[in-house]
Structure 1
């Protein structure tokens, strides 16, 4: 009688044999997973970049701009009310806080100026003449004639002075508003000032 020989197949040996079709499905799934991960990481990178820009603007730039705005408004508030409110041609040189030596830049505390739109270079004419100054990346005021100031400023300070109606029997009043633009910010705020401060000056002070 012939003895039958039974050979164990791969399954009975405990070995799993992957068919080519199974391998293909696994590779496809891996590629899809990697693609999804890449898309997710791309979105996350965008969020991180936005967060970095926001941190830069809201932290460093806003802090510096606040200091520069406060410095400017204190300088304007310290000017001699009577001397710097007379005709520009009669004002002493100390009334010019712009750092610009060109004619017409000594406006002192005369009503005028504007806080926008931003002027990124030394204005040769217009309502901002005498009511703005430019700072470098260290916060140092750029000085001299407009023709000598080259290149964009990192910070622009613009201010406006408004004569207020005094109370009956009260002192003369002026409202001063200073706006600071951070041109060196990671993402400038669409031409909007990063800081704006307002104060009121009276005579006598």
Structure 2
């Protein structure tokens, strides 16, 4: 089937991608062959909005059918990374080659010696993508990502709250500075305090469609 490549244009494309990832996740039997929806939301409203600040119209690419159905999405996470999100109904070697070529053109970073570097993720059982990457000169990293699953029907174990602490949902905006500071100290334990840039970034996290204040737990 002939697919058309175009760039991300408007927030309507963002919602289209969200629906696409929902469908793909279900079709792949809840296995993360592509990003789950929460990963996209986290990247879109926190990682990109607060950290990398990619222009979405220059960093996100869509492959569509003639009737506008999404077949694949290409996007970065950070600089020099590429994630190939493919609908299982449209998976083909031709599409993989086209997406990888686009990723190499758009996302590869130039190293000190002039060589190009690009990180592309592949499932452990995706032999076709691994073969394509090997044929194009990629080397396998020694730090794999492990995905773990748990049946939701299993009972939730009783875990006691440590003495002296209370677990509750995040309060109103007056608690945002403290919530932001805790995140800063947890993720930047060795950074001097003067590098802390305030808590405005947390408003972007809360803009994500999947964000729920009642599940934003603090102690």
TM-score bracket for this pair, using the shorter chain length: under 0.3
Structure with larger Rg: 1
Bigger helix fraction: 2
